[in-house]
Amino acid sequence: MYDTMSRALKTISSSDGAVRIYCCGPTVYRDAHVGNLRTFLLSDLISRTLQMTGLEVTLVQNITDVGHMADDFSEEDKMLAESEKTKVDPFEIARTFEARFHLDLQRLNIQGADSYPRASEKMPQMIAAIEKLIDLNYAYVGSDGSVYFDATSFPTYGALSGNKLEALKPGHRYEFTDEGGKRFHADWALWKLAGARTQMIWDSPWGAGFPGWHIECSAMSIELLDGHVDLHIGGIDLRFPHHENERAQSDSLTGDETVDTWVHGEHLLFEGRKMSKSAGNVVLLQDVIDRGLDPLSLRFALLENRYRSQMDLSWASLEAAHSTLKRWRQLLADSGSGVELKFDQEISDAFTTDLDTPRAMQRIRAIEKDSTIGALDKRALFLFADQVLGLELDRGVESKEPSDEIKALLAARITARAEKNWSLSDSLRDQLSEAGLEIKDGANGQEWSWR
């Protein structure tokens, strides 16, 4: 895999037993959009590839449910703002969106992590980590009573992101804006005093307050992965400041390089634009389903792009993915049953060489078209690839009886075409498409299938 730290490919291996993976999870004040899901799919693809090679995996993915997040450089507390708007307890909001996150993972056939620790339930570990950092002189209590990490105390700060302390300008907004108590502008909060806040605060040796943005991942990964992370995964937007600061904290706590390999997934655009609430183009997995598309069509579309390349997703690419997915499932359904797998060197090499999923998908398409490969062998090769692709290719094609209304529309369209009434034919095709049918006109006349 490509290691962000060394800017080079590194072999992923187990330091002791299972490969220990930590993947930054969701902040549960809203639904995860398809860009967020791309990162969570990345950890699944890496885990499946390691399992394909015979290695065991231990995966930890945190749930950030403590509010007070500065993840989009806003002064507004997202969790509490949502609570104020909906008049619902912030922890109730967190549990609702956490459940919806897990539902989305199931719909995308993403294997569950071994542990989903909630930040709200790991407060003792975070406080203990902060106390240790103070004792080791990596942190201090600021003039405002909050606790800060001393960035200058960590000599290799910036090695992950390429940022240099002397180049970080005062006033650069990448943390909370009310941090007047720190000694140096690049220091960051480990514990913030509550001030006027009355919700989502906890007692601590420094007074009632809440943890800073980065300390939860250090505390959780060190506790749950025994002080060493073989592979740390997250979106490229987390490289700085989150992962840079997390590395400084974790290494200071363990006295060693805590993470072996840092892997970052690139940004996802939708139809040429960055997804944002203000632009009104945030796409959720539920939106894909509401269009009558298999949720795994999203997984399929994401697989056709390299994880560390910026990707432009579109409705057209999702519809094409849906169509191909259905064709492949039909191919396997027509070739028999059973779970016989046949090893393919090119597919294996693609997965184990920096997760080259586009190359694996190209190989599958070539196998599909190869007339020298028999149906049973094609099935066995597809199933070998599907260990990692996770597209449920042996699920079969769903069939259901059309309603009387749809049957009437199909009959009316046959009549319209016979009468060469093309405008009516097109109009009926649109109605049938909205009902979830795909229409094809060939030598044998009108054919249809469920999308």
More confident residue, 183 or 76: 183
Phi, psi dihedrals of residue 250, rounded to the nearest 5°:
-65, -45
Find the range with the poorest average confidence among 7-11, 147-151, 209-213: 209-213
Mean pLDDT, the chain, as a whole number? Answer: 91
Where exactly are the structural domains of the chain? 2-265, 269-389, 404-450
The mean pLDDT value for 298-310 works out to 98
Identify residue 19 by its one-letter amino acid code. V
What is the reported pLDDT for 448? 82
What is the reported pLDDT for 442? 81
What is the reported pLDDT for 276? 82
The mean pLDDT value for 284-312 works out to 95
Question: Is 243 assigned to a binding site?
Answer: no
Question: Is 166 assigned to a binding site?
Answer: no
Report the 3 state secondary structure along the chain: CEECCCCEECCCCCCCCCEEEEECCCECCCCCEHHHHHHHHHHHHHHHHHHHCCCCEEEEECEECCCCCCCCCCCCCHHHHHHHHHCCCHHHHHHHHHHHHHHHHHHCCCCCCCECCEHHHCHHHHHHHHHHHHHCCCEEECCCCCEEECHHHCCCCCCCCCCCHHHCCCCCCCCCCCCCCCCCCCCEEEEEECCCCCCCCECCCCCCEEECCCHHHHHHHHHHCCCCEEEEEEEHHHHHHHHHHHHHHHHHHHCCCCEEEEEEECCEEECCEECCCCCCCCCEHHHHHHCCCCCHHHHHHHHCCCCCCCEEECHHHHHHHHHHHHHHHHHHHHCCCCCCCCCCHHHHHHHHCCCCHHHHHHHHHHHHHCCCCCHHHHHHHHHHHHHHHCCCCCCCCCCCCCCHHHHHHHHHHHHHHHCCCHHHHHHHHHHHHHCCEEEEEECCEEEEEEC
Cβ 159 vs Cβ 246: under 8 Å: no
Question: Is 217 assigned to a binding site?
Answer: yes
pTM of the predicted structure, to 2 decimals: 0.86
Find the range with the poorest average confidence among 78-92, 228-242, 276-290: 78-92
What is the reported pLDDT for 71? 38
Question: Is 267 assigned to a binding site?
Answer: no
What is the reported pLDDT for 201? 93
The fraction of the chain above a pLDDT of 90, given in percent, is 72
What is the reported pLDDT for 176? 58
Question: How many other C-beta atoms lie within 10 A of the C-beta of residue 373?
Answer: 16
The mean pLDDT value for 306-330 works out to 96
Question: Is 23 assigned to a binding site?
Answer: no
> Is 2-265 a CATH 3.30.465.10 domain?
no
Q: pLDDT digit string (tens) for 365-377?
A: 999 999 999 999 9
At residue 75, does pLDDT exceed 70? no
Q: pLDDT digit string (tens) for 395-446?
A: 877 666 778 888 889 989 989 888 889 999 999 999 988 887 888 888 778 8
Residue 78: pLDDT band by 50, 70, 90 thresholds?
A: low
What is the reported pLDDT for 70? 44
More confident residue, 168 or 265: 265
Q: Please give the Cα distance from 48 to 29 (Å, whole number).
A: 29
Residue 197: pLDDT band by 50, 70, 90 thresholds?
A: confident
What is the reported pLDDT for 180? 77
What is the reported pLDDT for 186? 92
